[in-house]
C-alpha cells in the first residue's frame, strides 16, 4: 500500500511540474492565439456583496465548463468556483488551469487543479470545483482553461474483491 501511495504521489508531482511548464507556453499563446487554440473562459472579479454573472461555455477534451465565476471575499482572497461536465462517452478525469490578470492584462497567478482529484467523472456527470488563489488585490479578471483529460485506474476495495 505504501508503494502505491509513493507512486501516486510521484506521478502527481511529475504532472504538476510538467503541467506548469506547459501552461506557461499556453499563457503566451493566449495573447496571439494559434489556429485551433481554444480561448479561455473569462470572468470578472467582483466584491463579496455582488451577484456574479456566469462565464461563457468552453468545451474541450470531452468536457464542458457549465459555468464559473471568480469571487473576492472580505479579506481580499480570490477564488474561482464553477461546474464542469463530462460530455464524452468514457469515464475520465480532467485538469483545469485558472489564471488571474490585472487591469493591464498581465498574469498575476496561475493554478492547476483536478476537480474530481484523481477520480474518473462518468459521462453526463457534472462536477463542482473551486480553486483559491489566496490574497490577490490587483486581480480584476479570471480565466479558465481545460488543460486535458486522463483515465485513472479504478481500484477495487477489499470488500468487493472477496467472493
Nearest alpha carbon to residue 98 among 134, 74, 62: 134
How far apart (Å, rounded) are the C-alpha atoms in residues 23 and 10?
20
Q: What is the pTM of this model?
A: 0.65
In this prediction, residue 152 carries a pLDDT of 81
In this prediction, residue 66 carries a pLDDT of 93
How far apart (Å, rounded) are the C-alpha atoms in residues 28 and 60?
19
- Per-residue pLDDT tens for 61-85? 999 999 999 999 989 999 999 999 9
In this prediction, residue 5 carries a pLDDT of 41
CB 105 within 8 A of CB 34: no
Average pLDDT by consecutive 10-residue portion of the chain (163 residues)?
43 38 32 44 51 58 93 93 95 95 95 91 95 94 94 62 54
Residues 6+ apart with CB under 8 A from 9: none
How far apart (Å, rounded) are the C-alpha atoms in residues 115 and 156?
22
In this prediction, residue 7 carries a pLDDT of 40
CATH for the stretch 39-153: 2.60.40.3230
How far apart (Å, rounded) are the C-alpha atoms in residues 32 and 105?
13
Amino acid at each position: 500500500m505504501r508503494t502505491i501511495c509513493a507512486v501516486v504521489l510521484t506521478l502527481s508531482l511529475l504532472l504538476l511540474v510538467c503541467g506548469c511548464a506547459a501552461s506557461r507556453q499556453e499563457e503566451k499563446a493566449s495573447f496571439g492565439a494559434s489556429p485551433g487554440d481554444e480561448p479561455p473562459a473569462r470572468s470578472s472579479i467582483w466584491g463579496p456583496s455582488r451577484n456574479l454573472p456566469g462565464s461563457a461555455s468552453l468545451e474541450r477534451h470531452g468536457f464542458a465548463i457549465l459555468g464559473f465565476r471568480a469571487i473576492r471575499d472580505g479579506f481580499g482572497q480570490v477564488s474561482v468556483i464553477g461546474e464542469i461536465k463530462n460530455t464524452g462517452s468514457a469515464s475520465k478525469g480532467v485538469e483545469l488551469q485558472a489564471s488571474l490578470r490585472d487591469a493591464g492584462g498581465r498574469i498575476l497567478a496561475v493554478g492547476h487543479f483536478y476537480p474530481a482529484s484523481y477520480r474518473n467523472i462518468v459521462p453526463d456527470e457534472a462536477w463542482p470545483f473551486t480553486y483559491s488563489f489566496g490574497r490577490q488585490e490587483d486581480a480584476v479578471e479570471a480565466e479558465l482553461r481545460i488543460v486535458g483529460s486522463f483515465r485513472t485506474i479504478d481500484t477495487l476495495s477489499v470488500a468487493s474483491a472477496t467472493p
